[in-house]
Structure 1
Amino acid sequence: MNPKYYIFDADGVLIDSLSIACRMFNLIADEYFPCLPKVINQEDMALAYPGLFRTSFKKFGLDEQDVIKFFDLHTQQMSKHVDELVPFELVLRAISESVTGRCAIVTSSYSETVRTVLSKSAFYNDDMFTDILGREYRQTKTAKISNLLKNVGIDASEAIYFGDMVSDILYCRGVPIRIAAVGYGYQPMDYLSAFDPDYILPSQQSLASFLKEF
């Protein structure tokens, strides 16, 4: 069944932010959680985030409150560096031409940060996405996706999520909703492929072509 509704992650899918995310990760780790590994690339991010966000850091000795503190600090730091973040123009163009008004964003970043970055693109407009659900909702992606689909009246079988991390695949299975894993974001394509996403999109061009085909 062709999707009727398209849901996108922000960082790594719509926004080019890997290098800055790694820099902020290391900054926070150095100051608060020196037990965390250093990260500089996709492979490092796969080691740091092997599963769901809330459990990935347990192997490094962080408890639940530590994890909440880390991600609160990380999203705050990313918001402070919004001037360094840029949208993936090829992807934004494809969305504007093919699925505008039939899509949303579900992200771990603050929604205002996402809007600010996407507004840098000439292809972005306020009517492109029906909703942008960010970290301020204080819910898992599974809950945010489920609530979003209920609010827009779309069955999960008629929707698809585009993500760039193993956590996205696992959260989507909790809905359940189809998941397309992109390989140009935060984690390597071969690592994501091992978790059997429904679709594998290695590049921005492949995502753009996917949207045009459906």
Structure 2
Amino acid sequence: MRYVVFDFDGTLADTSEAFMYAWNKLADKYRYKKIKLEQIETIKKLNMKERSVLLNFPLYKIPFVMPELIKLYKDSVVDITLFPGVKSLLEKLNKTGYKIAIISSNSEGNIKNALKRNHADHLITDVISAKRIFGKDKTIDQFLKIKKLQASEMIYIGDEIRDIIACKKSNVKIVWVEWGYDGLDVVKSAEPDYMVKKPDEILEIVKKR
């Protein structure tokens, strides 16, 4: 095992309020339904189709609104914090000798700014933005090729069903974290290789591989 690769939003960082702010700005502009803070836990239990119905948002528009959503999100980056235990996990992985990277649908600039504000930027070797929200497997494949890695030499940590699907396509093992955007009811059918309830469990999984 050489690389431990993380998703960012919902895995390393609690960005739910930042994305709620950005989404509600879009909702005002395009007449979608707004998200209330108390709805977030309920939304985590819904799949993409159910979320689109709840928010009056056609799924086919995702590629068109994502750039604007990420740009609006940038305004809230100052308030983003890492989940409890995440920075300690990154420090332990780094100290043990693993290289740590991020592959995310968010922009490289947003991620680097948030890491810097949380004093964790020095722990990450690579930050890569996946250009397509549902094409993360292509980015993972490219990462493996550039780093000259076998699929068995990296593990991915993510929180959404699309992360699991992407890793299955790339033949990369994935750890699903329960504190992210997609709840267990949403992801269990995709059969992640590992499931964890707290960051320290990730370290134990990595050490055993």
TM-score under structure 2 length normalisation? 0.82
Task: Point out the structure with the larger helix share.
Answer: 2
* Cα distance change, pair 50–61 in 1 and its aligned pair in 2 (3 A): closer
2:12 corresponding residue in structure 1: 14
Contact 1:38 1:44 in 2 (8 A): no
1:145 corresponding residue in structure 2: 140
Structure 1, residues 12-45: CA drift from partner, whole Å, max 9, x if none?
Answer: 11111123223322332342152x6746314314
1:176 corresponding residue in structure 2: 171
Give 1:163 deviation, angstroms.
Answer: 0.5
Structure 1, residues 119-149: CA drift from partner, whole Å, max 9, x if none?
Answer: 1234x243x32311115x4572111111011
The aligned amino acid for 1:31 is K
Distance 1:44 1:25 in 2: 13
* Cα distance change, pair 130–96 in 1 and its aligned pair in 2 (3 A): same
* Cα distance change, pair 47–31 in 1 and its aligned pair in 2 (3 A): farther
Q: Secondary structure at the match of 2:117?
A: coil
After TM superposition, the structure 1 = structure 2 runs for residues 111-190 of structure 1, keeping only pairs within 5 Å, are 111-122=108-119, 124-126=120-122, 128-135=123-130, 137=131, 140-190=135-185
* Cα distance change, pair 14–88 in 1 and its aligned pair in 2 (3 A): same
Q: Which runs of 5 or more structure 2 residues have no equivalent in the other structure?
A: none
Q: Secondary structure at the match of 1:180?
A: strand
After TM superposition, the structure 1 = structure 2 runs for residues 1-214 of structure 1, keeping only pairs within 5 Å, are 3-34=1-32, 38=35, 40-47=39-46, 49=48, 57=52, 62=58, 64=60, 66-88=61-83, 90-99=85-94, 102-122=99-119, 124-126=120-122, 128-135=123-130, 137=131, 140-211=135-206
Distance 1:152 1:89 in 2: 30
Give 1:167 deviation, angstroms.
Answer: 1.1
Structure 1, residues 45-91: CA drift from partner, whole Å, max 9, x if none?
Answer: 4425259xxxx859966364x22222112111111111111123521
The aligned amino acid for 1:62 is P
Distance 1:50 1:161 in 2: 25
Q: Which runs of 5 or more structure 1 residues have no equivalent in the other structure?
A: none
Q: Secondary structure at the match of 1:67?
A: helix
Cα RMSD for the two superposed structures: 2.8
Distance 1:212 1:90 in 2: 17
Aligned length: 203
- Identical aligned pairs, as a percentage? 22
Distance 1:81 1:38 in 2: 16
The aligned amino acid for 2:58 is L
